[in-house]
């Protein structure tokens, strides 16, 4: 089992290490089993996590542009 926040960070870190880009933007939307099967039993809840590095972390305009391209 994987924590969504950790998965988001690991994907971003891996891309950074392998490609060495000026920045990485990772956004993950997921429905969690714990929200649909246990406890709250809310099937339509989508959790969103993001990891921004480099230019996407430092430059508001670049971050807004990439998030807009992703549909956020």
Instruction: Please write the tens of the pLDDT for every residue from 9-18.
Output: 999 999 999 9
pTM (predicted TM-score) = 0.81
Spatial CA neighbour of 66 closest among 43, 50, 45: 50
What's the sign of the alpha-carbon dihedral 8, 10, 13, 18? negative
Instruction: Write down the pLDDT at residue 37.
Output: 59
Q: What 3-state DSSP class applies to 21?
A: coil
DSSP β-bridge partners for residue 48: 29
Residue 28's CB is within 10 A of a number of other CB atoms, namely 15
Confidence band of 5 (pLDDT split at 50, 70, 90): very high
Domains in the chain, please, with CATH? Answer: 4-69 (3.30.1130.10)
Angstrom distance (rounded) from CA 51 to CA 24:
8
CB 57 within 8 A of CB 22: no
């Amino acid at each position: 089992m994987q924590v969504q926040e950790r998965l988001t960070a690991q994907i971003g870190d891996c891309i950074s290490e392998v490609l060495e880009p000026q920045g990485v933007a990772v956004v993950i939307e997921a429905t969690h089993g714990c929200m649909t099967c246990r406890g709250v039993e809310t099937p339509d809840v989508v959790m969103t996590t993001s990891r921004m590095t480099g230019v996407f972390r430092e430059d508001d305009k670049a971050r807004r542009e990439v998030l807009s391209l992703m549909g956020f």
